[in-house]
Structure 1
Amino acid sequence: ETRYSCFHGYPPLGGRPACHGHASPLSIVPALATSCNSFFCYGLNAMLSNREKYTDVNEAFDVWKSYLNKMGYGDRLGVDLPSEKKGFIPNSKFYNKVLKRNNWNAHNIISIAIGQGEILATPVQIANFAAVVANRGYYYVPHVVHERKGAPLDTLYTRKRYADIDRSIFEIIAQGMANAVTGGTCRTANLLPEIEVCGKTGTSQNPHGDDHSLFMGFAPKDNPRVAIAVVVENGRFGASNAVPIGRLMLQKFFNDSIPETDKWLENRIVNTTILPHIYTRELSIVKNDSLQNKK
């Protein structure tokens, strides 16, 4: 199996993107469990520089993009709600134009290896990808309407859409996500022994304030029933707020209520102020305004 080293960051670029402390070198399952940035940077570079399989970086990158498109990224899924956004997955022509040359390489765009840079994804696309992994390679277009009285549901919502990736790959990803919950970055979402949860954290860098906190997951690992995504703007690390909210969502789904053992967590989330510092400052100004005090 392929293993890559990580020394608190991606070594070929001097430790950028940065990473946190964990065992090294590591393969894909522990890389998913520990959310290792370096592993996925190495993976992108290996694919884009593979001249035995691809004639140049443009061909390699467009194949990479096609995989993401087939898993529901980069275009509207077709949900039965208005105003769905497309997100954005760039193609090689985009980078040829931006970089003003066609001989660029993975290191010029390395941040997309960890879902950042020019990548844009909606929460429903992230939840849909969790469903792709849960189903081991396919999804149904997400929809709110479950059935129609006197008429069949549109086939748009009943037809399987395949990622064209072997099921065995998704088994590996699911195991990595399961390990992330039992001993990695998603430990707060652990509902064992009752339910085996699979999850993955995300921390989306935000140049305008605190980072955004993300979590996606599904449960149970085998014969899954639900896939979810949580995006908390300015929520900082994925494990800080998105994972706890994900745990509460799963508790509500499987138990129809929040158990007493998790009431403290529910109270923490409900009473946590998660706002950009600028808004927090404005609220403080309003609260302390002299006219308000006189009233």
Structure 2
Amino acid sequence: HTIISIAIGQGEVLATPLQIANLAALIANRGYYIRPHVVHSIGGMPLDSMYRNHQPSGISRENWEYIVAGMAGAVTGGTCRAANFAPGEIEVCGKTGTAENPHGKDHSAFIGFAPRSKPRIAVSVYVENGGFGAQFGVPIGRVMMEYYLRDGKLSGSGEAIASSMEHRSISYLNDI
């Protein structure tokens, strides 16, 4: 029973948003990540090499491409469509999630990275009581990626999404 629950995303897997963002980075980099850290140096001394070196997954790059393709498809035609940019702009890869909550409305989750071919940012969004991943997680993640990739600027559509998220309220009761 445990294996089935984990396979459909309802098992006993506990992960922090930082760990999930690191998973998105692992996928974006097609098989390696760099350990999360907060500082680049202390008093001019370089950061320990364990925070600078690639940490390999041991899975070949070719296998990661299948996951990347699936995440790109989720953005172009699946539950992550709200992360889409205009054709020819930033190509985003993503995955939504909905964490069931027995005490009220479900939690909204999204992980993503961009651009697809030369990733520069990986994000993890988790909104308690936000409902399905597409309701809050995806639009917030899209705005985060655009803001970073455009050096602190948002397009008109990015501004509209940010404004919409800012003015939406989350009901803590299960109103589905």
TM norm. shorter chain > 0.5: yes
Secondary structure of 2:133's aligned partner: coil
Query: Which residue, 111, 115, 133 being the options, matches 1:220?
Result: 115
Cα distance between partner residues in 2 of 1:115 and 1:242: 17
Higher RCO (CA 8 Å, separation ≥ 6 residues)? 2
Query: Which residue, 115, 129, 135 being the options, matches 2:9?
Result: 115
Cα distance between partner residues in 2 of 1:122 and 1:263: 28
Work out whether 1:195 is the aligned partner of 2:76: no
Query: Which residue, 160, 164, 168 being the options, matches 1:272?
Result: 168
Identity of aligned residues (%): 55
The offset of 1:194, in angstroms, is 1.2
Secondary structure of 2:131's aligned partner: coil
> Relative to total residues, which structure has the larger helix share, 1 or 2?
1
Give CA-to-partner distance per residue, 1:45-88, whole Å, 9 cap, x none.
xxxxxxxxxxxxxxxxxxxxxxxxxxxxxxxxxxxxxxxxxxxx
The offset of 1:263, in angstroms, is 2.6
Q: How many residues align?
A: 172
Q: Show the counterpart of 2:155.
A: 259
* Structure whose alpha-carbon radius of gyration is higher: 1
Q: Show the counterpart of 2:73.
A: 179
2:107 counterpart letter in structure 1 = H
Cα distance between partner residues in 1 of 2:163 and 2:172: 21
Query: Which residue, 59, 71, 92 being the options, matches 1:165?
Result: 59
The offset of 1:249, in angstroms, is 0.5
Cα distance between partner residues in 1 of 2:93 and 2:131: 21
The offset of 1:206, in angstroms, is 0.9
Query: Which residue, 151, 166, 178 being the options, matches 2:45?
Result: 151
> Relative to total residues, which structure has the larger strand share, 1 or 2?
2
Query: Which residue, 139, 145, 164 being the options, matches 1:250?
Result: 145
Where in structure 2 are there 5+ consecutive unaligned residues?
none
- Deviates most, 128-137 or 190-199: 190-199
Secondary structure of 2:45's aligned partner: coil
Give CA-to-partner distance per residue, 1:14-63, whole Å, 9 cap, x none.
xxxxxxxxxxxxxxxxxxxxxxxxxxxxxxxxxxxxxxxxxxxxxxxxxx
2:10 counterpart letter in structure 1 = Q
Cα distance between partner residues in 2 of 1:159 and 1:143: 12
Compute the TM-score of the two structures, normalised by the length of structure 2. 0.91
Where in structure 1 are there 5+ consecutive unaligned residues?
1-106, 279-295
Cα distance between partner residues in 2 of 1:124 and 1:155: 20
